[in-house]
Every structure is written in structure tokens, then in C-alpha cells.
Amino acid sequence: MTVNVLGIHHVSAITGEIERNHHLFTTILGMRLVKKTVNQDDTSSYHLFYADAVGTPGTDMTFF
């Protein structure tokens, strides 16, 4: 079986400083906060989704 990878959908990471993380991605990098949900594995933390203004594939970055 052959799998053709067309690109990266998103990258997920963990941050310990959510306010600095938000500042970096929105103010400095100019991305937008697309979605803020509760982490399904640990409901005491958030799952933040950032992307460019139009949701271009490969620009999605998420943080727990």
C-alpha cells in the first residue's frame, strides 16, 4: 500500500505560558485564534487553535 502525503494539516504542541503563547501567535506572528476548546484529555486545560486569516491548509497550529 502506498500513501501519498500532500502536506501537513496542523502541528500540536504544549505550552506552560498561555498568555505569552497567545501574544506571540496573534500580535507578533499575525495569526488569529480560530478556536478555543477544553482539552478532552485534561479538562483543566484549554486547546487553542491558531491559523492564518483565511485558514490556508498547513497554517493551523494548536496548543494544549
> Any idea what DSSP says for residue 17?
-
| Measured distance between the N- and C-terminal CA atoms of the chain, rounded to whole angstroms | 34
Instruction: Specify the pTM.
Output: 0.78
Mean pLDDT for 38-56 is 89
Phi, psi of 19 (to 5 degrees): -70, -40
Beta strands in 2-64 (DSSP E): 10-13, 32-38, 46-51, 60-63
Report pLDDT digits (tens) over 16-36.
999 999 999 999 999 999 999
Q: Which stretches of the chain are DSSP H helices? A: 18-22
